[in-house]
Structure 1
Amino acid sequence: MSAPKPIRSIVIVGGGTAGWMAAAALSRLVRTGVSVTLVESDAIATIGVGEATIPPIRNFNGLLGIDENDFLSKTQGTIKLGIDFIDWTREGHRYTHPFGEFGFDIEGVKFHHYWRKLYAEGKASWIEDYNLCATAQKLGRYTTPVADPASVLSRLTYAYQFDASLYAAYLRAYAEARGVVRTEGKVVDVLLRSEDGHVDAIALEGDRRITGELFIDCTGFRGLLIKGALKTGFESWKHWLQCDRAWAVPSANPGREITPYTRSTARRAGWQWRIPLQHRVGNGYVYCSDDISDDEAAATLMANLDGEPLRDPMLIRFEAGRRKLAWNRNVVALGLASGFVEPLESTSIHMIQTGVSKLMALLPDRDFSPVERDEYNRQTQIQMEQVRDFVILHYHANERTDGDLWRRVREMDIPETLQRKIDLFRNRGRFFRYDDELFADSSWIAVLLGQNVMPAGWDSLADAVDPALVRQRLDRIREVFRRAAEAMPRHEDWLARNCPAPTASVTRKTA
């Protein structure tokens, strides 16, 4: 058996959120003798619009030992309890995809089966009333959860909304303090080894060269290494996810409360996001260029801001899909370089996080065995396809009457993996999760019901429990959640008390 040949040098090409998340995590390797170098150019702008996240981001920050209040303060961060969807199912309709579970299971049967039975009989309100995050979200409230499962506050699950550029800067300081070396420079060439086609070095302006053994491509849509040098193929999902452009613009905080959720509003040719931070609001219009001109899309966005724009809008062009190999030879692509779905369910930063985690778990030696590489690619493909299916669901299950986009996505054939899920739920509200799926049953329930995919029936075991007892239980859950939410401070007051941003002006609203 040959002696191990551990990796001695890692080069991260590109900064931004992806590059500095990778650098922060990989800085743990520096103390083992591995050099970690990040190369970025101040002259190249990053996309930086991924300001909303999902709950697993807390695990990443926790792994790094980051203090939550310090992080929120320095990134102008706010709390996110879910997403508010407006006009997605049909015009005039609204629903919430909250974090956390719905109700409590009864005698081993999932809560939503009991809810479905009582709702059909007119004895239960809408399912969001049985979710603590949804209840707090609607009231604009938040408080720190507790770990004690006996407390109702243990049911509170949350993520963050923050300034992505400030988060990158925060992680840069973290990584550099732990030995990561940053090199300023623009990449002008990628040099390959003739014997195996691996990347040997990157050439920078000024006749400089950075060599390495493992390269991480964080160069965004350009994919300088994974695409440009290694010619790695791309699998397009444009036939399912037809939006291909976005305008993004920050606006002034309108002076009202800081809502603890992201808002997504359907428009004729796509949808508009609203992400509240402490110092501003992030906005964008994701749209299909076949259905609206760039000028009209920009005008639509600017006409639907809550506050004054803080700069001119930025146009982003993209195509939904994934690299056929996220890890090719000695290059691992992270973030936009590896693929892109779209920001509808705030998964972009999470995909960076899981990419870094998988790389740490499958870190190769200098022989670059295909065993680790193939498993990394398999896991990445599965997860991206699962995210793809979840996002497609929002488009496909619609009843909107305006715009050709909504008719096309409603009538299109969808992936068989998604169709199975819809059919199983529509029949009797059942789920099966595969390969450690990112989105829990509660997320699928929220979106399926929100998009008016209502089960025809329910688990027959729900009929075995006394209906009067079940109704009493549901009424109690709804009341306990409502009282718990009403007792929480307003979100903006919690921010002002625990993690005020230095330059933010937080509006306080009395209860």
Structure 2
Amino acid sequence: MENANGRIRKVVIAGGGTAGWVTACALTHQFRDLLEMVLVESEEIGTVGVGESTIPTIRTFHRLLQIDEREFMSAVAGSFKLSISFENWKRPGDRYFHPFGTTGMNTWSCDFHQFWLESLRRGVKSELGDYCLETVASRQDRFALFGPPGGAAQQWSMRWTRPATSFERSDLSYAYHFDAALYAAFMRRKCEGRGLVRIEGKIREVRKDPENGFVRALVLEDGQVVEGDLFIDCTGFRALLIGQALGTGYEDWNNWLPCDRAVAMQVETDDPPVPYTRAVAHQAGWRWHIALQHRVGCGWVFSSAHMSDDEAAARLKAAYPGTRLVREPWVVRFRTGRRLQVWNKNVVALGLASSFIEPLESTSIHLTLSAVTRLVQMFPHTGIDESVVARYNQVSRAELEHVRDFIILHYHLNQRDEPLWQACRNMRIPDALANRIQVFRDTAYAWQGEDELFRLDSWTHCMLGQGVVPKNHHPLARGLADADMRKLFEAIRRPIEQLVAAMPPHHEFLRSYCPADPSVWEMRGKSTVG
């Protein structure tokens, strides 16, 4: 079918929150002179509001939208993120970092971790993370920015830089922690003045064309009718348009990812924020710890088959003794999985309306940004073509399944004794993931496929961290003489140690570079419990 819906002149975004306002910001930035754009949301409808941790791709997205980093970080009380600390995942007491940066130096024929495995065989004691700038900085709670000569980032960090050597990486790969509500408000302000019309109100009815089933209008509770040509469903788990109105099916992934609930909470603490997200496994799932400038976001992800809501809330509170609650624990129920079509007719679902994968690797906001970028690139200005819709859905599905498999890896590769973890260890996993793990177990070979999010370093750190011990490694690594290997490793490790030693503590850098807006601190101490 070609141009089934006619020319797209008006876009209606249903729902606000992070997904809605990120979408609005991207579309108004790109198409403000070409399209009429409306966003419908209700202040009475709360948002899930627990997406507070990101991955480095958000920085590229922000650059495309010309968002100033210091302004953004101050407005959202943000902190920097270099890695994820996985604690108790292999077994209680174990810990490893999944860093954002590269590790060591790869050659075209043999990746660095192969040389590291050979060094272990020779009796050299070290950790793979010793050769990654982001991991070493995370361990010491340090952070600094580096940029091109004369750039703003370098001007703020000159006193913490050292002259680079041929082995030194003087740039950090980082992401952000931020207050999700403040982020949505920040993106909303960016849309103001760009022609976006915001309409306050609850959606009572989704009106469809009786002939082709396309959505034609949203009818609000006050009777207002909002017509459009293309509708973006950002209504969260309710999925009012893509799910309820169009009846688009949902593929459930609970058989691989057993957690179906989370208890979220916000606390105040005097502990300085660390530059990484903590993911701490427990007997029925895991908990997150995300430190911002003004508070900590925390949550208890769990399987309702193995723990009750009340026990989860009690255990989460017990993990933060002596802190002041900003908000009492609240329960979020979810179904891990994806819409069979995230673009159906003239509705594109973004955020939780399209899919849900638990935030273990902080991919929730990334998936929204990626979907928005894809929509901009494939935008149906002249009408909705089935070929474009099919391609959009195909790419979206592949992206979601890739992220899903990486999350499954953490559950499957464990040595814990509790029933949930035993079931995860023994479950049949997707064939592509099983093959990837087996190849690494046999040969230590890891890879990043075309259009895949997680890099070779991500797979390597997580499989080794979860206890996969390769039977063999690349034979080329055996050809390096002991003296040459020591020289290579020292040339990588020493500049990293020197660079990190020269960095300030993370909280000091935040205070000098992007202190939280005073209005954020004014909210501290004012209870939002309820």
Q: Name the TM tier (shorter chain).
A: over 0.9
Paired residue secondary structure (1:296): helix
Structure 2 contact 145–171 (Cα < 8 Å) conserved? no
For the pair 1:395 / 2:395, whether they are aligned, the reply is no
Is the CA contact (8 Å cut-off) linking 1:124 and 1:474 kept in structure 2? no
Corresponding residue number in structure 1 for 2:466: 451
SS at match of 1:313: strand
Name the CA shift for 1:147/1:385 in 2 (closer, same or farther; >3 Å).
farther
Q: Structure 1 residue 331 and structure 2 residue 347: aligned?
A: yes
Taking the aligned partners of 1:432 and 1:449, their CA distance within structure 2 comes to 14
What is the TM-score normalised by the length of structure 2?
0.92
Cα RMSD of the aligned pairs, angstroms, is 1.8
Q: Residues 188 and 205 of structure 1 are in contact (CA less than 8 Å); yes or no, is this contact kept in structure 2?
A: yes
Tell me which of 252, 273, 294 is aligned to 1:258. Answer: 273
Q: How far, CA to CA, are the matches of 2:121 and 2:234 in structure 1?
A: 50
- Summarize the alignment of residues 164-179 of structure 1 with structure 2, pairs less than 5 Å apart: 164-179=180-195
Q: Which amino acid aligns with 2:504?
A: P
Please give the alpha-carbon distance, in whole angstroms, between the structure 2 residues aligned to 1:135 and 1:257.
18
Query: Which of 436, 441, 452 is the equivalent residue of 2:451?
Result: 436
Aligned with 1:316: secondary structure?
strand
> What's the CA shift for 1:6?
4.0
Amino acid at match of 1:198: F
Q: Which residue of 2 aligns with 1:211?
A: 227
Distance 1:471 1:457, change over 3 A: farther
Mapped contact 1:124–1:471 kept (Cα < 8 A)? no
Tell me which residue corresponds to 2:317.
Answer: 302
Instruction: Give the C-alpha shift of residue 366 in structure 1.
Output: 5.0
Within a 5 Å distance, the mapping from 1:250-399 to structure 2 comes to: 250-253=266-269, 255-305=270-320, 307-399=323-415
Partner of 1:132: 133
CA distance in 1, matches of 2:341, 2:402: 17
Counterpart amino acid of residue 222 in structure 2: G
Look up the SS of the partner of 1:484 in the other structure. Answer: helix
- The answer to whether the Cα contact below 8 Å between 2:29 and 2:65 also exists between their aligned partners in 1 is no
User: 1:399, 1:258 → 2: CA distance?
Assistant: 30
Q: Kindly state the Cα deviation for residue 207 of structure 1 after the two structures are TM-superposed.
A: 0.9
Offset of residue 118 of structure 1 = 0.3
Provide, for residues 282-317 of structure 1, a one-character-per-residue CA deviation record: whole Å limited to 9, x for no partner. Answer: 000000000011111110101002622212111000
Percent identity over the alignment is: 45
Displacement after TM superposition at 1:458 (Å) = 1.1
Superposition pairs for residues 78-97 of structure 1, below 5 Å?
78-97=79-98
Measured after TM superposition, the shift of residue 49 of structure 1 is 0.4
Q: Point out where structure 1 has 5 or more consecutive residues left out of the alignment.
A: 506-511
Aligned residue number for residue 509 of structure 2: 494
Q: Which of 475, 496, 502 is matched with 1:481 structurally?
A: 496
Question: Which residue among 238, 260, 275 is the counterpart of 2:254?
Answer: 238
Q: Residues 118-157 of structure 1 correspond to what in structure 2 (within 5 A)?
A: 118-147=119-148, 152-157=168-173
Give the distance between the partners of 2:248 and 2:339, measured in 1 at CA: 7
Report the counterpart of residue 180 of structure 1 in structure 2: 196
In 1, Cα distance between equivalents of 2:107 and 2:21: 45
Supply the distance in 1 between the matched residues of 2:169 and 2:483 (Cα, whole angstroms): 27
What is residue 161 of structure 1 aligned with on the other side? 177
Task: Give the aligned length.
Answer: 503
Whether 1:409 and 2:410 are equivalent positions in the alignment is no
Q: CA deviation at 1:461?
A: 1.9
* Equivalent residues of 2:83, 2:135 under 8 A apart: yes
Partners in 1 of 2:447 and 2:99 — Cα distance? 20
What SS class does the counterpart of residue 274 from structure 2 fall into?
Answer: coil
User: 1:145–1:153: 8 Å Cα contact kept in structure 2?
Assistant: no
SS in 1 for 2:32: helix
Q: Is the 8 A contact 1:425 1:431 kept in 2?
A: yes
Range with bigger deviation, 466-475 or 244-253: 466-475
AA aligned to 2:455 is: A
d(CA) in 1 for partners of 2:214 and 2:411?
40
Amino acid at match of 1:418: L
Q: Which amino acid aligns with 1:187?
A: I
> AA paired with 2:419?
D
Post-superposition offset of 1:212: 0.4
Q: In structure 1, what is the Cα distance between the partners aligned to 2:512 and 2:290?
A: 21
Equivalent position of 2:76 in the other structure: 75
Amino acid at match of 1:276: A
Q: CA deviation at 1:481?
A: 0.8
> Residues 140 and 490 of structure 1 are in contact (CA less than 8 Å); yes or no, is this contact kept in structure 2?
yes
Is the aligned partner of 1:190 residue 2:213? no
Maintained 8 Å contact 1:100/1:155? no
Structure 1 CA distance, aligned partners of 2:303 and 2:207? 37
Structure 1 position 107, deviation (Å): 6.3
Q: How far off is 1:364 after superposition?
A: 1.1
In the alignment, the residues of structure 2 paired with residue 118 and residue 414 of structure 1 have an alpha-carbon distance, to the nearest angstrom, of 32
Q: Which amino acid aligns with 1:135?
A: V
Taking the aligned partners of 1:100 and 1:458, their CA distance within structure 2 comes to: 22
* Per-residue deviation, residues 394-430 of structure 1 (Å, max 9, x unmatched): 00000012x2110110110000010011011111111
Alpha carbons 1:30, 1:180 under 8 Å: kept: no
Letter in 2 for 1:103: G
What's the CA shift for 1:475?
Answer: 2.2
Instruction: Say whether the 8 Å CA contact 2:84–2:279 is kept in structure 1.
Output: yes
1:509 counterpart residue number: none
1:441: Cα distance to partner? 0.5
- The equivalent of 1:65 in structure 2 is 66
Q: Deviations over 1:261-302 (max 9, x none)?
A: 100111111101000000000000000000011111110101
In the alignment, the residues of structure 2 paired with residue 134 and residue 364 of structure 1 have an alpha-carbon distance, to the nearest angstrom, of: 43
Cα separation, 2, equivalents of 1:345 and 1:406 = 18
Q: Which residue of 2 aligns with 1:48?
A: 49
Who is 1:425 aligned against? Answer: 440
8 Å contact kept, 1:12–1:19: yes
User: 1:150: Cα distance to partner?
Assistant: 5.2
2:446·2:460 contact (CA, 8 Å) conserved in 1? Answer: no
Q: Deviations over 1:446-477 (max 9, x none)?
A: 11011011211111122233332022211221
Return 5+ residue gaps in structure 2 as ranges. 150-162, 522-530
Measured in 2, the distance between the counterparts of 1:303 and 1:193 equals: 53
Which AA in structure 2 matches 1:378? Q
Task: Indicate if the aligned counterparts of 2:8 and 2:383 stay in contact, CA closer than 8 A.
Answer: no
How far is the alpha carbon of 1:153 from its aligned partner? 4.6
SS at match of 2:324: coil
70-79 vs 169-178, which deviates more? Answer: 169-178
